Structures are given as structure tokens and as C-alpha cells.
Amino acid sequence: EVQLVESGGGLVQPGGSLRLSCAASGFTFSSYWMHWVRQAPGKGLVWVSRINSDGSSTSYADSVKGRFTISRDNAKNTLYLQMNSLRAEDTAVYYCARDLWAYGDLDYWGQGTLVTVSS
């Protein structure tokens, strides 16, 4: 059974940092592109970042470029999102998701982890 389990969310002050993790199981993690998608409370889905299967290529939304870094450890079956210089508008539930074909079709999602940026 495919499982994605996020962790690392919490309350952080503006300007602070946080690292999210997504532990994958039930599939060959190293074969799939992976994404982070966020959802502010009561709002819609917003794509954040993507990494290819071996970690050599990454892509970011303009709103997080230069502040967030996506990475992966295929030996540990884990996806990461390092978030620096956090702002109030980064407050959201952050989901990791698997890309079915590397076409952007996200077929499995984690349950999400809440990040709250507030003083």
C-alpha cells in the first residue's frame, strides 16, 4: 500500500525556518517525481515545488523561489522541504504528493502537515 506521511509542521515566527519531511513507503520511491502542494486555511490548492526522481532537477513556484528548497534522500525514502524566511502568507497545510507519470498527475497524497507562521 502506498503511503506518504508528512511531519515537521508547527508554529514558527516570521523570518524563521522549518524543515518538512515526507516518509514514503509501499512503492519504489526512487522512480517517481515528487511534489509539495499547500493549502491555506479555507483556500484552494497551490503548487509549491517539484523534484525529479534522482534529485537532479527541481522547480519552484515564484512565491517560494529563493526561500524554499526541495530535496530527497532515496536511500531513506524521504522527501524534504526546507523553508526559510517564512512569512505569514506561508501559513498552510503542506501536502507531499507522488507524480504518476512525471506529467504532473498527483496520484497519491499525504495527510498534510500544518505550518503556522505567526508572532
Identify the residue among 95, 113, 115, 117 touching another protein (CB under 8 A).
95
Q: Classify 119 as helix, strand or coil.
A: coil
| Ranges of H-type helices in the chain | none
Residue 115 touching another protein (CB under 8 A): no
Which is nearest to 20 in space by CA: 57, 63, 64, 68? 68
Smallest distance from another protein to CB 115, Å: 16
Residue 101 touching another protein (CB under 8 A): yes
> Which residues does 51 contact at the CB level (< 8 Å), separation at least 6?
33, 34, 35, 57, 58, 59, 70, 71, 72, 79
The interface mask with another protein, positions 45-74, x = CB under 8 A, is xxx--x--------x-xx------------
CB atoms within 10 A of CB 75: 8
Residue 1 touching another protein (CB under 8 A): no
Task: Give the range of 12-20, 22-30, 44-52, 83-91 binding another protein by CB under 8 A.
Answer: 44-52
Residues near another protein, by CB under 8 A: 35, 37, 44-47, 50, 59, 61-62, 95, 100-101, 103-107, 109-112
